[in-house]
Amino acid sequence: MLLAVARVAFGIFFLGSAILKMAAMDYMTGMLADAEFRTPLPFVLVAMIAQIAGGGALIVGRMVVPAAFGLIAYVAVVNYYLHPFWVLGGEEAAMQFQLFTKNLGIMAGLLAIAGTSGGKHDGISNA
């Protein structure tokens, strides 16, 4: 039961993030442009698709393991490109480090969901 609650909570988190991206496309593309992405719009669209597909899969309990690993990969890419605390200094480095480590926690939670899913633990099939 608790695993299902965690899975749905993560799914809602990622779906909510996708909805926020849709509502703020200009802001998101500007943020990626500031991070030196030459053509940011395709990256924002891919992020939204990943968050919708992965989050939706977690919510409905289908393809949970691939969805969790896909979202882990997505968050790892976000961490590397958007939260590079190691090249910054001062308050900006501290803020980016906090966001980076928060994302590590998200990845750890997704890894736990992937590792304990499979139909036998939460009554949900991954087929």
Has residue 108 got a pLDDT over 70? yes
56 lies in some domain = yes
Chain length of the chain: 127
- Report d(CA 23, CA 18) in Å as an integer: 9
Number of domains in the chain: 1
Task: Let me know if residue 126 belongs to a domain.
Answer: no
In a domain, 11, yes or no: yes
Q: What is the pLDDT of residue 119?
A: 55
The answer to whether residue 62 sits within a structural domain is yes
User: Is 122 a member of any domain?
Assistant: no
pLDDT recorded at residue 17: 96
Q: What does the block give as tokens for 56?
A: 């939706």
Helices 64-82/40-60 angle, 10° precision:
150
**Residue matched to tokens 């909510």:** 16
The answer, yes or no, to whether residue 127 has pLDDT greater than 50, is no
Inside any domain, residue 98: yes
Question: What whole-number distance in Å separates Cα of residue 32 and Cα of residue 37?
Answer: 5
As a whole number, mean pLDDT of residues 97-126 equals 82
Range of the domain at 33: 2-116
